[in-house]
Amino acid sequence: TLPPFVAGSLAWLDLAIIQPQATPWSVAGHEVARQQFTLPTPLALPAPTTAATLTEQPDYWLVTAANSQWQLDKQSGRITSWRKGGEEQLLAPIRDHFYRAPLDNDIGTSEADHADPSAWIARWQQAGLNDLTHRCLAIDASPHLGHIQVSDCYLVAGEARLLTRWQHQFSADGAMLLTIAVTSASVMPSLPRIGASLWLAKGEWDPQQRVVWLGRGPHENYPDRQLSADLGRWQQPLAAMHTPYIYPTDNGLRCDTRQLQLAGITIEGHFHFSVSRYSQPQLAKARHQTDLTAERGVHVCLDGFHMGVGGDDSWSQSVRPEYWLRPGHYSWHCVLR
Q: pLDDT band at residue 281, thresholds of 50, 70 and 90?
A: very high
Strands 328-336 and 265-276: antiparallel
CB 331 within 8 A of CB 179: yes
Confidence bin at 7 (pLDDT 50/70/90):
confident
163 bridge partner residues: 153, 183
Q: Does domain 88-336 fall into CATH 3.40.190.10?
A: no
E strands, the chain, in order: 11-18, 31-39, 53-56, 60-65, 68-73, 79-84, 87-88, 95-97, 133-142, 147-156, 159-170, 176-184, 193-200, 210-217, 230-237, 254-262, 265-276, 298-306, 328-336
Q: Which residues contact 271 (CB under 8 A, 6 or more apart)?
A: 195, 257, 302, 303, 304, 332, 334
Burial class from Cβ neighbours inside 10 Å (0-12, 13-18, 19+) for residue 329 reads exposed
Burial 189-222 (b: 16+ CB within 10 A, else e): bbbbbbbbbbbbbbeebeeeeebebbbbbeebbb
Q: Is 120 helix (H, G, I), strand (E, B) or coil?
A: helix
Question: How confident is residue 8, by pLDDT bands cut at 50, 70 and 90?
Answer: confident
* pLDDT band, residue 67 (cuts 50/70/90): very high
- pLDDT score recorded for residue 264: 87
- pLDDT value of position 1: 74
Question: What pLDDT shows up at residue 314?
Answer: 67
Model pTM score: 0.93
Q: What would the pLDDT profile of 298-317 be if each residue is shown by its tens digit? A: 999 999 999 999 988 767 77
Residues of the chain with CATH 2.70.98.10: 88-336
Residue pLDDT, tens place only, 212-239: 999 999 999 999 999 999 999 999 999 9
203 pLDDT above the threshold of 60: no
What CA–CA distance (Å, rounded) separates 178 from 336? Answer: 8
pLDDT value, residue 50 = 87
Alpha-carbon span 74 to 62, nearest angstrom: 10
Residue 116 pLDDT class (50, 70, 90 cuts): confident
Separation CA 267–CA 260 (nearest Å) = 5
What is d(CA 106, CA 76) in angstroms, rounded to the nearest whole number? 31
CA separation, residue 196 to residues 78, 206, 220, 222 (Å): 11, 24, 19, 17
SS (H, E, C) 250-297: CCCCEEEEEEEEECCEEEEEEEEEEEECCCHHHHHHCCCHHHCCCCCC
pLDDT of residue 99: 98
**How much is the mean pLDDT over the chain?**
93
Q: Is residue 170 within 8 Å of residue 70, measured between CB atoms?
A: yes
Per-residue pLDDT at 46:
75
Q: Alpha-carbon distance 50 to 99, whole Å?
A: 36
**Above 80 in pLDDT, residue 208?**
no
